[in-house]
Amino acid sequence: MGDRKQARDEEFQSFVIGRWPRLMRTAFLLTGEQHAAEDLVQSTLEQVYVAWRRVGAADDPEAYVRHVMINAHARKHRRKLKEFLAPKDDSGLTYELPDSGDRIAQADDRSALLKALSELPARQREAVVLRYWEDLSESQTAEAMGCSVGAVKSNAAKGIAKLRAIPGLAEMVTHGGQK
């Protein structure tokens, strides 16, 4: 019995070590804050560890864990807890647009994208992050979000349309494409 538990623990540990960066990236994109992302991943892994025998035997354990994470995030959102992807009041600041080829410009671009993501409703943000940042298929995204493929298509299309309507992002893409 002890050998099986030890083997299961080692398998879980190996899974966590191998998937930690990707899980953290997804959680950060969903929550917009490093500590909230860490909390989301930790609570997800706690739930998964308890059921690891079943999860580890699944066809795609990473998809299962991602589904648990999306559900945990959705539960938190339903409780009306606020999430912050960017400071709320930076309207008085003006930003200089640096050359898009340098690292500073990339950080500015990332900041603008995170701010834009924060303005999307939670389901649209989930669909956009999973489809376009995590590069999941529509069916994988639907499975992770616990909804139909049609709902994924609808939420992703609405989210992308809202992102395209944000002037700062449109300028960033236009300037970046010319260089």
Predicted confidence at residue 149, as pLDDT, reads 95
Say whether pLDDT at 45 is over 50.
yes
Say whether pLDDT at 179 is over 60.
no
Say whether pLDDT at 98 is over 90.
no
d(CA 67, CA 143): 7
CB 55 within 8 A of CB 16: no
Say whether pLDDT at 69 is over 90.
yes
Q: Residue 90 in 3-state DSSP?
A: coil
Predicted confidence at residue 93, as pLDDT, reads 46
d(CA 157, CA 134): 16
Each residue of 78-90: pLDDT tens digit?
654 444 444 555 5
CB 91 within 8 A of CB 100: no
CB 24 within 8 A of CB 38: yes
Predicted confidence at residue 152, as pLDDT, reads 94
Each residue of 27-36: pLDDT tens digit?
988 888 889 9
Predicted confidence at residue 139, as pLDDT, reads 92
Each residue of 114-171: pLDDT tens digit?
888 888 888 999 999 999 888 899 999 998 898 999 999 999 999 999 988 887 676 6
List of residues 6+ apart from 136 with CB closer than 8 A: 130, 144
Q: How far is CA 128 from CA 12, 38, 45, 95, 179, in A?
A: 29, 21, 23, 26, 26
